[in-house]
Structure 1
Amino acid sequence: MSFPATHIWFDANDLSAISNVNITRLTPQNTPDMVSGQFDLANRDGGKLLTKYYRNKTIVVEGYILSTTRATAETARDNLLDKTTGLEKTLEFMQAGSIRRYYATLTGTTFAELEGGMMSFVLTFSCADPFGYKPTYTTNTKANQTTANWTWAYTIAGTWNATPLLRFTINGLHNTFSDGLLQISRYDSATATKYETITIYRDWTSDNGKVIEIDCVNQTVKLAGQEIDYWGTFFDLPKGSGAIRCEQYDSTFASNYFLELSSYMEYNERYL
């Protein structure tokens, strides 16, 4: 008896490489579970959908154990379960022609009655983070800028929004004064609209050569590796084309160029 095998890795363990274990089916194609908030309209038909977000994703792995003896088959079952323990570990397999990574926990197992040395099984993995990821970072850079206000265009790949890590290297200080305000925003160039913004206000006079890091995944703002004060809202970048806006203001809140900056972005492509 022969079935096609599918390679799948959990916590870097190749489940197909376990002796006597054969993976036959993998079901990652269903979209994550969606939660929506709909409210009725007052004294009329219909309603209004106000919120929508994804909660979790379920991935099912099916296969069979085939061995010459009952004892060996049961050992293969033990080995399979041993390799699939752990909380929110990486679950990786080929999807759309390349490796895709999920963060999964085994939440259910079904093993059929052992018949000689053969039994089928179903493993159910739950992904609290509902998205699949490209394991390697996608990057975007912008050369050194020598004006107070500028726009950084990008294109986000994948089928869902990306959560970026942004780094701005200070390559020079200009227009000497003590305090200045740096504002980094998600931006719509077509309508000149600023959305979520991170704002840093400080004395920059000793910061030449340092790196400003805005980590939207861990929601931290750092200068030279140390967390600093800021205000505002961290942002995701919607898939497709978009922009980031950088603006500088002096202590009177007038537009004023004082930081010469080059920029770097990295993110993992996300997929539904």
Structure 2
Amino acid sequence: MIGVKFGSYNLQDPANGVWVTDTDVYSSPTNAIQTDSLAESDGGLVVKQRYQSKTFKVEGLIRADTIAELETMLDQFKAAMASKNQAFDIDYAGGIRRYLANAQNVILTKGRRVTSAAFSVEFQSPDGVGWSLDSTALIASEGVTGSVVTVPVTAEGSYQVDPLITATFNTISGGTAKTVTISNDVTLRGLSVTRNWATGDVLEIDCLNKTVFVNDLAAEFSGQFPKWEPGAGALGYVDNLTSRDMTLRASYTRRWL
């Protein structure tokens, strides 16, 4: 029996009279596709794709020994479902998939057995994707001494990867008013930071939260935050320093459609 929780409330707890009988949480979010008509030709061209927020249902049963106990359990159930922005966790592939969710429609139905009730809850997940609970290395540790470097990477999951990238400059020469650029080497989407670089500087690019820090202070940058599609790819590094000995690391949380 798979584990299912919403916040701290255990939806899969037969020992205490609550269990799930059905859910469609495994479905992918809707992929909104925008196409433009081709000029002087049949058909169209896809110009934009965007996954929308996802709605899914969970159905199950609640049973008690007495009517009074059942009614108490129903009140507890409704109170738990009223909690906002909770983690919806479900066992999957030997681990746990987590969705940020809100219960937007809760239906409780008493049947012929006065000590049992069926429930149906419609959840809304704003980002529409499931998250792994652990962090995964995109680049465990890569020593960089060249000014132009390509690092092969493999992105896991079934949704785009927005990593946390850290570049630690162990030694630098010729760092005054110089530019460091980190990008997706396939799409060439990336960002650049121009400043006076020095030995010991740490550049941190958080592609998910869209922040750039140098030595824990917000830094100015240009360009776009890179992202990687699932599968094989590469991270590109370019600078115009005189020399550098830098350690590059990147990590991310796997996400699933």
Scaled by the length of structure 2, the TM-score of the pair is: 0.91
Q: Does 1:238 align with 2:235?
A: no
- Whether contact under 8 Å (1:6, 1:25) holds in the other structure is no
Of residues 97, 102, 106, the one that matches 1:105 is 102
Q: 2-side partners of 1:183 and 1:22: how far apart?
A: 52
- Whether contact under 8 Å (1:248, 1:258) holds in the other structure is no
SS of the aligned residue for 1:83 comes to helix
Give the corresponding residue for 1:260: 245
Amino acid at match of 1:202: R
Q: Does 1:168 align with 2:153?
A: no
Once the two structures are TM-superposed, the CA of residue 80 in structure 1 deviates from its matched residue by 1.4
Of 222-231 and 105-114, more deviation after overlay is shown by 105-114
- RMSD of the TM alignment (CA)? 1.9
Scaled by the length of structure 1, the TM-score of the pair is: 0.87
Amino acid at match of 1:39: D
Amino acid at match of 1:150: V
Q: 2-side partners of 1:108 and 1:82: how far apart?
A: 13
Q: 2-side partners of 1:80 and 1:262: how far apart?
A: 50
Give the corresponding residue for 2:214: 223
Of residues 67, 71, 74, the one that matches 1:70 is 67
SS of the aligned residue for 1:137 comes to strand
Once the two structures are TM-superposed, the CA of residue 144 in structure 1 deviates from its matched residue by 2.2
1:118-139 residue CA offsets vs partner (Å, 9 max, x unmatched): 1111111111111111110001
User: How many residues in Structure 1 have an aligned counterpart in Structure 2?
Assistant: 254
Of residues 84, 89, 102, the one that matches 1:87 is 84
Once the two structures are TM-superposed, the CA of residue 44 in structure 1 deviates from its matched residue by 5.2
Map 1:1-272 onto structure 2 (within 5 A).
6-17=2-13, 19-42=16-39, 45-115=42-112, 116-139=114-137, 140-174=139-173, 176=174, 178-188=176-186, 195-204=188-197, 207-249=198-240, 256-272=241-257
Amino acid at match of 1:197: G
1:21-54 residue CA offsets vs partner (Å, 9 max, x unmatched): 2222222221111211123345654333221111
Give the share of equivalent positions with the same residue, in percent.
25
Of 79-88 and 144-153, more deviation after overlay is shown by 79-88
Q: 2-side partners of 1:40 and 1:154: how far apart?
A: 36
Task: Structure 1: state its 5+ residue gaps.
Answer: 189-193, 250-255
- Whether contact under 8 Å (2:175, 2:242) holds in the other structure is no
Amino acid at match of 1:236: K
Amino acid at match of 1:66: R
Q: 1-side partners of 2:177 and 2:57: how far apart?
A: 56
1:189-228 residue CA offsets vs partner (Å, 9 max, x unmatched): xxxxx51111011111xx3223110000110110111101
1:93-127 residue CA offsets vs partner (Å, 9 max, x unmatched): 11223211111111111111354111111111111
Once the two structures are TM-superposed, the CA of residue 76 in structure 1 deviates from its matched residue by 0.8
- Whether contact under 8 Å (1:15, 1:80) holds in the other structure is no
- Whether contact under 8 Å (1:15, 1:21) holds in the other structure is yes
SS of the aligned residue for 2:153 comes to strand
Q: 1-side partners of 2:248 and 2:102: how far apart?
A: 36
Of 107-116 and 14-23, more deviation after overlay is shown by 14-23
Once the two structures are TM-superposed, the CA of residue 88 in structure 1 deviates from its matched residue by 2.5
Once the two structures are TM-superposed, the CA of residue 258 in structure 1 deviates from its matched residue by 3.3
- Whether contact under 8 Å (1:131, 1:271) holds in the other structure is yes
